[in-house]
Chain A
């Protein structure tokens, strides 16, 4: 059986997608996997072919096609002929199935032109949108990139949207392994918004030399990039010692070798970071500009991420930085980085406020931010929100017996000690009260929206204007309510996101009414699920009584072994 995976985004995305492909190969060992990638990602496809991870790959010369289509003096017709050739080549292979991982309009259109019987993923079919399999794919399609509150890694959402198994989170190697004596720094990225300033990198390098004199420190450069990088470093520090901290050019195979000796990679949000995470190298990363830890953190347990604590961060990928200075990059403090490095290399220091952590829940990524509260509370709160979303997005809330009970057992198995540290029953009761208050408020918003919408009449613009005013009032009320209720865990369980977005949307009249109603319905279902879930947790703990509390932190396997 021949399967084609289409990954037509950037190289970092392809590396993340590779995890999904690896998982697919584990589940389907007899299949022959091929890749369809952009020319910019060819180097990584070659690496995968050398490692026999794939049977072959095909290239879409996207960048060149774009140039030929847009620029005067270029031959646009050639793109058409090359496209036809590509389709014919793919047709000759006779693929049984194609999975579309890119989720872009170009990729969706391309899938329409491919003569493959079974196509999975959002795509066009004879010019019409198709392939929305479930709520996950709707989430991915509509607003995942904007929806800050859904605590799922992009890979998780993508896998679920394609009905594939979510890859197991990579476990890092032991960072204190004495046989590994190399600290690698990936200090450049092609995206200027994600850069950290060169003088700060130089300071960090010097600091690391002082702190870890027995370890080797090297700066990574892409093939052909080392000269320019050395020049930039010398511009900042004319006495920079390349003997002590060499700049090393490395392609994917060489990186693979170097990672065998690496104890820690410190990196910006780059393809090298995701590669290291996949190869189980412990990572510390700086997410600056549009880099969003909640969506694209390294898919690795215990990865540590630092991001600038400024209100505009993360910004939209396509927008330029609007600030007079690169605030989110400047907000990264050298001392904080050194402390984080110590915690990873020596295991000395606990997580600091403002750090993002990658943990796991049900062996899947759970990305949470450490604020002023205890880390355990952050983690347990995020896990609870994730569990609620998971049940909703799986569509299990529509089943007669939603898997709340089994979910509660799993949750207690994994997070009992965190829950206990966060306050146990009293914390859960507070959470339930907050959720019920949200439901009451939501009912009021819903009835006000329906009342306002009932006066809408087709072709009556004055009524549409009146409705628009009322939705603006509702938006204000909602924002005021959320501001009043603002707590640390609100951030990770913002079930009102869709409603806020619908109330702010540019749609008018009936269309807006429909969107607001749908969004309110989603919030209602999520709150209902959350309450049901928290009540089950409370009952579980109460019924089992002190005996259960004494067993906090043990897994059900441990418990069954002792009983």
Chain B
């Protein structure tokens, strides 16, 4: 189904998916600002991917927070895309060049309503785009990285290098040295 409807709350029109609201009906601006405070944006971030468009308040506020940001939105629903994003801006991300440049992938959970699993899948794929690559590179360098078991709960699905156990460390290659050094940053 995943049908998009529009609900009126006084002056505010809120998109709903299967009857579930995709942003706050009372104060979506405040919700967006609160979301922006929660994400850990760095001053040197440039390429940001937001998963979930909803009514777009959070995207507008994010883009306004730093004029140097290049914000890319991933939205699964075509109707929302057509309503809020200029047609020329909608395209497929190039996994080899654009995705590798991403500084930060953030999700806007209210916009995932009624399709959480699908949005989560996209978010995980994008946010961990270079994590398997990191694992592979370290393995080639003689380090075995074993991720702790990934929990099924959405909040715990993201793992970082902090959760990786480093075993076998007897190789003397340059790559091993680099990984050993980087590991000091996550202790």
Interface residues of A (CB under 8 A from B): 62, 64-67, 69-80, 83-84, 87, 104-106, 109-110, 112-113, 124, 126-127
- A70:B186 contact, CB within 8 angstroms: yes
- A78:B130 contact, CB within 8 angstroms: yes
- A73:B105 contact, CB within 8 angstroms: yes
A72/B158 contact (C-beta < 8 A), A77-B131, A80-B134 known:
yes
- A74:B103 contact, CB within 8 angstroms: yes
Query: Closest residue of chain B to A63, judged by CB?
Result: B42
Residues of B near A127 (CB, < 8 A) are 169-170, 172, 176-177, 180
Residues of A near B177 (CB, < 8 A) are 109, 112-113, 124, 126-127
Q: Considering the chains assembled together, what is the distance between the CA atoms of A78 and B46 in angstroms?
A: 14
B72 within 8 A of A: no
Q: Considering the chains assembled together, what is the distance between the CA atoms of A70 and B185 in angstroms?
A: 9
Between-chain CB contacts (< 8 Å), 20 pairs: A69-B182, A69-B186, A70-B160, A71-B160, A72-B158, A73-B105, A73-B123, A74-B105, A75-B129, A76-B131, A77-B130, A78-B130, A79-B182, A105-B184, A106-B181, A106-B184, A113-B174, A126-B172, A127-B169, A127-B180
Query: Closest residue of chain A to B105, judged by CB?
Result: A73
Interface residues of B (CB under 8 A from A): 40, 42, 44, 100, 102-107, 123, 127-131, 133-134, 137, 158-162, 169-170, 172, 174, 176-187
Most buried by B among A62, A70, A73: A73
A84/B134 contact (C-beta < 8 A), A67-B42, A75-B102 known:
no
A75/B160 contact (C-beta < 8 A), A64-B44, A69-B182, A127-B169 known:
no
Cβ of B50 to closest chain A Cβ, rounded Å: 10
Query: Closest residue of chain A to B178, judged by CB?
Result: A83
Residues of A near B176 (CB, < 8 A) are 127
- B104:A73 contact, CB within 8 angstroms: yes
Q: Considering the chains assembled together, what is the distance between the CA atoms of A407 and B161 in angstroms?
A: 54
- A75:B184 contact, CB within 8 angstroms: no
Residues of B near A104 (CB, < 8 A) are 184
Residues of A near B159 (CB, < 8 A) are 72
Residues of A near B133 (CB, < 8 A) are 77
A73/B182 contact (C-beta < 8 A), A109-B177, A113-B177, A127-B177 known:
no
Cβ of A364 to closest chain B Cβ, rounded Å: 32
Residues of B near A70 (CB, < 8 A) are 160-162, 185-186
- A75:B100 contact, CB within 8 angstroms: yes
- A74:B104 contact, CB within 8 angstroms: yes
At the interface, is chain A mostly helix, strand, loop or mixed? helix
Cβ of B135 to closest chain A Cβ, rounded Å: 9
Contact of A65 among B129, B185, B187 (CB under 8 A): B185
Query: Closest residue of chain A to B177, judged by CB?
Result: A113
Residues of B near A72 (CB, < 8 A) are 127-128, 158-160
- B180:A112 contact, CB within 8 angstroms: yes
- A83:B106 contact, CB within 8 angstroms: no
Cβ of B143 to closest chain A Cβ, rounded Å: 11
A109/B134 contact (C-beta < 8 A), A73-B158, A74-B104, A75-B129 known:
no
Query: Closest residue of chain B to A66, judged by CB?
Result: B185
Contact of A113 among B44, B137, B178, B186 (CB under 8 A): B178
Cβ of A86 to closest chain B Cβ, rounded Å: 10
Residues of A near B102 (CB, < 8 A) are 75
Residues of B near A73 (CB, < 8 A) are 104-107, 123, 127, 158
- A112:B181 contact, CB within 8 angstroms: yes
Most buried by A among B100, B170, B182: B182
Interface contacts beyond A72-B128, A72-B158, A80-B134: sample of 13 additional A-B pairs, CB < 8 Å, sorted by A: A65-B185, A69-B182, A71-B104, A73-B106, A75-B129, A77-B137, A79-B182, A80-B178, A84-B178, A105-B187, A109-B181, A112-B177, A127-B172
Cβ of A426 to closest chain B Cβ, rounded Å: 54
- B181:A75 contact, CB within 8 angstroms: no
Q: Nearest 10 A-B pairs (CB), nearest first?
A: A72-B158, A77-B130, A109-B181, A113-B177, A73-B105, A106-B184, A73-B127, A126-B172, A75-B130, A66-B185
- B185:A124 contact, CB within 8 angstroms: no
Query: Closest residue of chain A to B51, judged by CB?
Result: A73
Residues of A near B106 (CB, < 8 A) are 73
Cβ of A166 to closest chain B Cβ, rounded Å: 29
Q: Considering the chains assembled together, what is the distance between the CA atoms of A126 and B184 in angstroms?
A: 16
Query: Closest residue of chain A to B104, judged by CB?
Result: A73
Cβ of A174 to closest chain B Cβ, rounded Å: 42
Q: Considering the chains assembled together, what is the distance between the CA atoms of A72 and B183 in angstroms?
A: 16
- B160:A80 contact, CB within 8 angstroms: no
Cβ of B70 to closest chain A Cβ, rounded Å: 15
Contact of A69 among B161, B169, B170 (CB under 8 A): B161
Q: Considering the chains assembled together, what is the distance between the CA atoms of A77 and B136 in angstroms?
A: 10
Q: Considering the chains assembled together, what is the distance between the CA atoms of A73 and B102 in angstroms?
A: 9
- A109:B172 contact, CB within 8 angstroms: no
Contact of A109 among B44, B105, B161, B180 (CB under 8 A): B180
Residues of A near B123 (CB, < 8 A) are 73
Q: Considering the chains assembled together, what is the distance between the CA atoms of A110 and B179 in angstroms?
A: 10
Cβ of A373 to closest chain B Cβ, rounded Å: 45
- A80:B104 contact, CB within 8 angstroms: no
Query: Closest residue of chain A to B138, judged by CB?
Result: A80
Q: Considering the chains assembled together, what is the distance between the CA atoms of A83 and B134 in angstroms?
A: 13
Q: Considering the chains assembled together, what is the distance between the CA atoms of A120 and B103 in angstroms?
A: 36
A80/B182 contact (C-beta < 8 A), A75-B130, A127-B169 known:
yes
Q: Considering the chains assembled together, what is the distance between the CA atoms of A431 and B66 in angstroms?
A: 66
- A76:B134 contact, CB within 8 angstroms: yes
Cβ of B116 to closest chain A Cβ, rounded Å: 16
Most buried by B among A67, A70, A72: A72
Q: Considering the chains assembled together, what is the distance between the CA atoms of A488 and B162 in angstroms?
A: 48
- A83:B185 contact, CB within 8 angstroms: no
Cβ of B154 to closest chain A Cβ, rounded Å: 11
- A109:B137 contact, CB within 8 angstroms: no
Residues of B near A78 (CB, < 8 A) are 100, 130
- A65:B100 contact, CB within 8 angstroms: no
- B160:A124 contact, CB within 8 angstroms: no
Query: Closest residue of chain A to B136, judged by CB?
Result: A77
A65/B182 contact (C-beta < 8 A), A75-B103, A76-B134 known:
yes
Q: Considering the chains assembled together, what is the distance between the CA atoms of A76 and B107 in angstroms?
A: 18
Cβ of B113 to closest chain A Cβ, rounded Å: 20
Cβ of B153 to closest chain A Cβ, rounded Å: 14
Cβ of A262 to closest chain B Cβ, rounded Å: 31
Query: Closest residue of chain A to B130, judged by CB?
Result: A77
Cβ of A68 to closest chain B Cβ, rounded Å: 8
